[in-house]
């Protein structure tokens, strides 16, 4: 996954990929964004606009 794919991937597929990366590879959203070189707000804003917010306690995006 790279930054150029964020806007092209269908949001439910993006959600699944991001949550899997958070579960298996990264201990936080900040670590995920740094590892993949993602803009700090772009991923969060895209998922928030689709009804998902990041839950730091569970380290995953969940529906609002």
The predicted-structure confidence for 6-31, as pLDDT tens digits, reads as follows: 788 999 999 999 999 999 999 999 99
Instruction: With residue 54 as reference, give the H or E element that holds it.
Output: strand 52-55
State residue 6's pLDDT score.
79
Using pLDDT thresholds of 50, 70 and 90, give the confidence band for residue 1: low
The closest of 52, 7, 33 to 25, measured between CA atoms, is 33
Other beta carbons within 10 Å of 30: 11
pTM over 0.85: yes
């Amino acid at each position: 996954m790279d930054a150029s794919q964020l806007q092209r991937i269908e949001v439910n597929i993006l959600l699944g990929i991001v949550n899997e990366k958070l579960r298996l590879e990264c201990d936080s959203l900040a670590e995920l964004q740094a590892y993949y070189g993602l803009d700090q707000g772009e991923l969060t804003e895209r998922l928030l606009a689709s009804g998902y917010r990041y839950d730091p306690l569970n380290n995953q995006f969940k529906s609002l």
